[in-house]
Amino acid sequence: MSGTHDVRLLDVFKGQPKAVWITAFAAVIAFMGIGLVDPILLSIAEALHAGPEQVTLLFSSYLGVQVVAMLITGAFSARFGPKRTVVTGLVLIVLATVACALAASIGQLVALRAVWGLGNAFFIATALSVIVGAASGGQQAAILLYEAALGIGLSTGPLLGALLGNISWRGPFAGTAVLMAIALVLSAGFLPADEKDPAKRPKVRLLDPLRALKHGGLLRTALGSAFYTAAFFVVLAWAPFVLEFGAIAVGLVFFGWGLCVAVAGVTLAPKLAARFGDAGGTVLAVLLYAVLLAVMAIGPKPVVVVAVILSGIASGLLNTLFTGTAMSVSDAPRPVASAGYNFCRWFGGAVAATLVGHVADWFGSPHAPFAVAAVLCVISACLLVADLRKREDPHRIPVEAAAVGEEF
């Protein structure tokens, strides 16, 4: 993320317009949905008589639909405007979370999580572009704010899931529905109106996100992120089954993990980029993640707990560095670059969430998914090392990264 190290932390939060804060709040709630089910996976499995490979489908259906939908978010936003896109996504999420709270079977829950993923696709890619386009302090400050929202959402999601899930596994879904409804009202009422003349909006074709991946730098960044995100979801989806803790204990573990994500993404990522450059910092962070995953693969439960929490530091660094690079490495419009990058990124997560339970069966060990995830991180590092020689000086701020005032 070129120029990350030039951003003062105060710039991330100082003087941001109302639209940025509303979108960031909605992003926090949206990202809460990713880790929300973590503490209640065992409770859902028990209540709905489902095995681990069925319960992890709650992640894969959510992410799988989100991946495919990422390809149409740019075209939808260009046709109908960013505000309508954000509101559409939030409406779908509210409807899906309410229905999840009323689901009667694991099949219904998996299907409804897919609808939730569709709503998230409309919201997430557009929210990043809205924040980047409207935020004061430059593109890099906006990305740090977005990643702060991600970290806060990831940390509070498991905690909310644990507290409400301790009452009933339906509670976290109902609680998220209420919070998302608040975000929907705020977004519908206070986000700036869309440009009424469609001719004045940027023209984005359906396959533009995939065409954007023809840019070598963006493609390598997206593929590296896909391998990392697969490892990320191995930790998120599988750690509760290895730990076998109750909802509150799992929630506290992932609350600590999420706090590490938030702090590292906002405070440590700029320092790492300043010291080693964006690509170099990303390589170091993904190798750190590989080491922690290797520890999870061989360590006893107390060691796994510590490694899971500390892995949030690597995740926070990688989320910020990968996102910043994807938004500035090519000359594609921000919504298009974001959609193409997120397509690859979340595809990795969807595949991992689908296969993680089967990997444990194939290798005959509950710790095997962590070992496989460590290998994926090494592959990601190799892609990024190959890219290091192809990039220009990482400390130079490209012109397009500084052009934060352009219209969304």
Rounded Cα distance between 125 and 120, Å, is 8
Give the pLDDT confidence score for residue 321 in this predicted structure: 87
For residues 58 and 387, the model is more confident at 58
| Residue type for position 322 | F
Residue 170 pLDDT > 50: yes
Give the pLDDT confidence score for residue 369 in this predicted structure: 95
* Residue 199 domain flag: no
Q: Of 13, 29, 77, whose CA–CA distance to 183 is shortest?
A: 29
pLDDT-derived band of residue 404, with 50, 70 and 90 as boundaries?
Answer: very low
For the chain, how long is the longest CA-to-CA vector? 61
Q: Kindly state the tokens that stand for 348.
A: 């990795």
Residue 288 pLDDT > 90: yes
* Residue 408 domain flag: no
* Residue 38 domain flag: yes
Residue 133 pLDDT > 70: no
- Angstrom CA distances, 364 to 256, 359, 369, stand at 30, 8, 10
Q: Tens of pLDDT along 186-228? A: 888 888 777 666 666 566 676 777 888 888 788 888 899 999 9
pLDDT-derived band of residue 401, with 50, 70 and 90 as boundaries?
Answer: very low
Residue 259 pLDDT > 50: yes
Q: Kindly state the tokens that stand for 38.
A: 């973590």
Give the pLDDT confidence score for residue 405 in this predicted structure: 27
The CATH number of the domain holding residue 385 is 1.20.1250.20
* Residue 407 domain flag: no
Q: Tens of pLDDT along 226-238? A: 999 999 989 988 9
Residues in the chain: 408
Mean pLDDT of 72-81: 77
User: Looking at the 3D structure of the chain, how many domains does it have?
Assistant: 1
The backbone region for 364, taken as left when phi is positive above 0, alpha when psi lies in -120 to 50, beta otherwise, is left
Residue 82 pLDDT > 70: yes
Helix boundaries (H) for 166-202? 171-190
3-class SS string, 137-169: CCHHHHHHHHHHHHHHHHHHHHHHHHHHHCCCC
Rounded Cα distance between 157 and 179, Å, is 12
Tell me the residue range of the domain where 360 lies: 4-194+204-402
Residue 1 pLDDT > 50: no
Q: Tens of pLDDT along 324-362? A: 777 777 777 766 777 788 888 888 988 998 898 889 999
Residue with tokens 């978010």: 73
- Angstrom CA distances, 288 to 272, 314, 402, stand at 13, 7, 30
Mean pLDDT of 4-33: 72
* Residue 22 domain flag: yes
Rounded Cα distance between 358 and 353, Å, is 10
